[in-house]
């Protein structure tokens, strides 16, 4: 029987394919049924793996605590050994194997997630974070069971894609989909501005998140339809429904091809104001899409995607090649390359930072780069060397303090001096700008305006930090509101300050690519929109229909409102 589940639409389009169940973001395990007569063997397999890990941990402890009986490592190992003996965890998995007739690794991960959920309810922050130990210990057992790390299924031969069904996915997992003919993905958790969602849009993979218990509701290999535009997932559709969605998919393609007619039309409002339509990219792979919509340049190149999902940092030459390719391809149009925004959910070396106390408030973006000056200097040298191939602008993410800019400028000067000494060329006119993503920055713009040549508002983070809502946490996603009066004041204030001091300001967060906010942003005075290239033509269509003389006073009135419902209503009426 077909049935429908509703979630949050995060990446448009329709995907029809077969389910591949993926377990926890850090553990990819398959799910399969085990015949009743083999169940004792399956439990024995689990017992042996647990015994192996016990042995490993005891050995680890002996090595780590040699000569220092109270070492912290020893305490952690003890904790993990205790968890191995915890009836909730391993006995629970044994029961699941018998009850669900499933494989040991799947049972273990199910049980782990149940226990992790219980940890999440604990008030004491230290004890709550011990869920990381639960995950680690289960990971060890799963690795022993598998004998190798998990992997994605091979490409299907029936022309249908694979649909990944997961509890959660990291941006690195999502990037891995590129080579595996993944048609789409759905997850239990996640929000529309999480980096995983952004990567899905970039890969043009339809995706729906925030489905709560989707993994319990579908089976491996079952047929599934994702409607990533409406946030709907249809499980086990019959032939009639599949046909209907095939038709809808063709209609969507037709609509897109109609928008294509706007490709070479300049984005000018009815009253003659020019608006720049810039693209957000993650690397040279996105250049075809940028060309396809004839963007006015790149407003945000998220360089951290150069190394997400791999084990080593790209060296200077590899970075130089990537930056040069983008600059050359844009042939003189501005290319704004953001220095690494490492940290939070975009962790280095595939190591997830999600179990750190507060990854979003931690060592992220410019903070990370300044803590790793050699890595930062390497990037700056690569950027400067590439600058001779086009119109480069360097952008620094997540600024909050003047000294962060000063230190960055010093490192840029150092990179230039090194290149001079080595006789390597760079463009001395490269502009340095910064992102306004922290409320403190939006409220103390003077120090940024004095030091920088342009600003770009990262609304994804600005909203996250203003409203204290983790953008990747589905439990609070309903509180993530771009129309909160406080958020609008910070955005409008930044745009107005830029205009007053003659500093170009853009918006490069997801708000810029959402047609619901185009008129509002235009009315605030925004003239530079940067978004995923897939949204450019739709937003351009809005710009072409806008009359700023009429919009500006209405938006000024909206900015004085302090009730969210009234703001929402007034913003909807802007289009009417």
Q: Which does 508 bind (CB under 5 to 8 A by kind): Mg ion, ligand PEP, none?
A: ligand PEP
Applying the rule CB under 6 A, the residues between 519 and 548 that interact with ligand PEP are: none
Name the token pair of 169: 């996915």
- Least separation in angstroms between residue 278's CB and ligand PEP is 12
Smallest distance from Mg ion to CB 508, Å = 8
Give whole-number Cα distances, 552 to 357, 477, 520, in Å.
43, 30, 9
- Number of H-type helices and E-type strands within the chain: 23, 16
The dihedrals phi and psi of 533, each to the nearest 5 degrees, come to -55, -25
CA distance 16 to 235: 10
**Closest approach of Mg ion to the CB of residue 462, in Å:** 8
Query: Quick check: helix, strand or coil at residue 273?
Result: coil
Between 245 and 301, whose beta carbon lies closer to ligand PEP?
301
Angle between helices 39-64 and 104-120 (to 10 degrees): 60
Minimum separation from the CB atom of position 338 to ligand PEP (A): 8
Contact between 498 and ligand PEP by CB under 6 A: the answer reads: no
Residue 214 is a binding residue for ligand PEP (CB under 6 A): no
> 186 or 365, CB closer to ligand PEP?
365
Q: Please tell me whether residue 458 binds Mg ion under the rule CB under 5 A.
A: yes
97 vs 508, which CB is nearer to ligand PEP?
A: 508
- Shortest distance, position 460 Cβ to ligand PEP, whole Å: 3
Q: Which is nearer to ligand PEP, 302 or 324 (CB)?
A: 302
Based on its alpha-carbon atoms, the radius of gyration of the chain, rounded to whole angstroms, reads 25
> Would you say 181 and 158 are in contact if contact means Cβ atoms under 8 Å apart?
no
Select from Mg ion, ligand PEP, none the partner in contact with residue 434, using the beta carbon and a kind-dependent cut-off of 5 to 8 Å. Answer: none
- For helices 92-100 and 39-64, give the axis angle rounded to 10 degrees: 160
Q: Is 171 in the site for Mg ion (CB under 5 A)?
A: no
HSE-CB of 247 using CA atoms within 13 angstroms? 6
Interface positions, 341-370, toward ligand PEP (CB under 6 A): 341
The interface partner of residue 380, options being Mg ion, ligand PEP, none and the CB cut-off 5 to 8 Å by kind, is none
Question: Using CB under 6 A, which of 509, 523, 533, 534 touches ligand PEP?
Answer: 509
Contacts of 322 (CB under 8 A, 6+ apart): 283, 284, 303, 306, 314
Binding ligand PEP (rule: CB under 6 A), the pick from 5, 508, 531, 558 is 508
Catalytic choice (195, 484, 532, 535): 195
Question: By C-beta, is 57 or 197 nearer to Mg ion?
Answer: 197
Catalytic (active site) residue 508: yes
Kindly write out the interface string for residues 435-474 of this chain, putting x where it contacts ligand PEP by CB under 6 A and - elsewhere. Answer: --x--------------------xxxx-------------
User: Active site includes 102?
Assistant: no
Q: Which is nearer to ligand PEP, 201 or 389 (CB)?
A: 201
Quick one: which of 479, 476, 539 has its CA closest to 507?
A: 539
Q: How far apart are the first and last CA of the chain?
A: 41
Contact stretch for Mg ion (CB under 5 A) within 90-98, 176-184, 386-394, 452-460? 452-460
State whether residue 71 is helix, strand or coil.
coil
171 binds, among Mg ion, ligand PEP, none (CB under 5 to 8 A by kind): none
Q: What single-letter DSSP state applies at residue 478?
A: G
Least spacing, CB of residue 509 vs Mg ion, in Å: 7
Token pair recorded at residue 182: 């993944």
CB 16 within 8 A of CB 246: yes
Write down the residue that tokens 């057992």 correspond to. Answer: 141
CB of 542 to Mg ion, least distance (A): 24
Tell me how many residues contact ligand PEP (CB under 6 A). 11
302 binds ligand PEP (CB under 6 A): yes
Least distance in angstroms from the C-beta of 463 to ligand PEP: 8
DSSP state for residue 156 in the 8-state scheme? P
Q: Say which of 102, 508, 532, 535 is annotated catalytic.
A: 508
Q: Which residues, in sequence order, are CB contacts of 10 under 8 Å at separation 6+?
A: 190, 191, 192, 194, 197, 200, 201, 207, 208, 209, 228
Residues in 327-346 at the binding interface with ligand PEP, rule: CB under 6 A:
341
Per rule CB under 5 A, count of chain residues that contact Mg ion: 3
Cβ at position 245, least distance to ligand PEP in Å: 30
Nearer to ligand PEP, 163 or 507 (CB): 507
Task: Map 353-387 to HEC letters.
Answer: CCCCCCHHHCCCCHHHHHHCHHHHHHHHHHHHHHH
Give residues 461-490 in contact with Mg ion (rule: CB under 5 A): 461
Q: Which of 462, 387, 378 is nearest to 430 (CA)?
A: 387
Task: Report angle CA 540, 542, 548 to the nearest 5 degrees.
Answer: 110
Helix (H) or strand (E) holding 20: strand 14-22
Considering only 150-158, 212-220, 222-230, 451-459, which stretch makes contact with Mg ion by CB under 5 A?
Answer: 451-459
* Contact code string over 68-107 relative to Mg ion, x by CB under 5 A: ----------------------------------------
Q: How far is the CB of 309 from ligand PEP (least distance, A)?
A: 16
3-state secondary structure of 193: coil
Q: Where are the beta strands (DSSP E) in 368-493?
A: 391-396, 431-436, 454-457
Q: Which of residues 372-401 bind Mg ion (CB under 5 A)?
A: none
Which residues contact ligand PEP (rule: CB under 6 A)?
Answer: 198, 300, 302, 341, 437, 458-461, 508-509
Which residues contact Mg ion (rule: CB under 5 A)?
Answer: 437, 458, 461
**Which residues are tagged catalytic?**
195, 508
């Amino acid at each position: 029987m077909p049935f429908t589940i509703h979630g949050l639409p995060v990446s448009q389009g329709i995907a029809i394919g077969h389910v591949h169940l993926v377990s926890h973001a850090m553990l990819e395990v398959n799910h399969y049924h085990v015949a009743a007569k083999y169940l004792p063997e399956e439990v024995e397999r689990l017992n042996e793996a647990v015994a192996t890990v016990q042995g490993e941990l005891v050995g680890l402890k002996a090595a780590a605590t040699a000569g220092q009986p109270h070492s912290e490592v020893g305490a952690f190992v003890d904790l993990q050994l205790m968890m191995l003996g915890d009836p909730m965890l391993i006995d629970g998995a044994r029961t699941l194997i018998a009850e669900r007739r499933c494989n040991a690794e799947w049972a273990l991960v199910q049980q782990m997630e149940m226990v992790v959920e219980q940890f999440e309810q604990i008030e004491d922050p230290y004890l709550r974070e011990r869920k990381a130990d639960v995950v680690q210990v289960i990971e060890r057992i799963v690795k022993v069971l598998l004998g190798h790390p998990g992997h994605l299924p091979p490409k299907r031969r029936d022309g249908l894609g694979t649909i990944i069904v997961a509890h959660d996915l990291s941006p690195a997992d999502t990037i891995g989909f590129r080579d595996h003919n993944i048609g789409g993905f759905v997850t239990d958790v996640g929000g529309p501005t999480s980096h995983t969602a952004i990567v899905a849009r970039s890969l043009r993979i339809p995706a729906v998140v925030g489905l709560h218990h989707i993994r319990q509701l579908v089976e491996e290999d079952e047929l599934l339809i994702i409607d990533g535009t409406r946030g709907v997932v249809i499980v086990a559709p019959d032939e009639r429904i599949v046909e209907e969605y095939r038709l809808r998919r063709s209609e969507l393609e037709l609509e897109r091809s109609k928008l294509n007619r706007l490709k070479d039309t300049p984005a000018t409002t009815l009253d003659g104001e020019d608006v720049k339509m810039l693209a957000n990219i993650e690397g040279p792979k996105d250049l075809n899409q940028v060309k396809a919509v004839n963007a006015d340049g790149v407003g945000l190149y998220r360089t951290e995607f150069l190394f997400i999902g791999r084990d080593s940092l790209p060296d200077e030459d590899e970075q130089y090649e990537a930056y040069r390719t983008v600059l050359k391809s844009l042939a003189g149009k501005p290319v704004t390359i953001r220095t690494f925004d490492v940290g939070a959910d975009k962790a280095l070396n595939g190591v997830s930072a999600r179990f750190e106390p507060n990854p979003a408030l931690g060592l992220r973006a410019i903070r990370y780069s300044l803590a790793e000056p050699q890595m930062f200097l390497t990037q700056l040298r690569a950027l400067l060397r590439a600058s001779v191939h086009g119109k480069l602008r360097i952008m620094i993410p997540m600024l909050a303090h003047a000294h962060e800019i000063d230190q960055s400028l010093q490192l840029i000067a150092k990179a230039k001096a090194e290149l001079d000494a080595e006789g390597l060329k760079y463009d001395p006119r490269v502009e340095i700008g910064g992102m306004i993503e922290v409320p403190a920055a939006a409220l103390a713009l003077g120090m940024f305006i004095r030091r920088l040549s342009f600003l770009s508002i990262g609304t994804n983070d600005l909203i996250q930090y203003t409203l204290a809502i983790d953008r990747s946490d589905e439990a609070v996603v309903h509180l993530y509101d771009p129309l909160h009066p406080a958020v609008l004041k910070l955005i409008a204030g930044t745009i107005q300050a830029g205009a007053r001091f003659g500093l170009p300001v853009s918006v490069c967060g997801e708000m810029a690519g959402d047609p619901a906010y185009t008129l509002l942003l235009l009315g605030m005075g925004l003239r530079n929109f940067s978004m995923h290239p897939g949204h450019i033509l739709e937003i351009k269509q809005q710009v072409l229909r806008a009359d700023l003389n009429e919009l500006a006073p209405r938006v000024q009135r909206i900015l004085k409102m302090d009730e969210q419902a009234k703001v929402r209503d007034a913003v909807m009426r802007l289009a009417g």
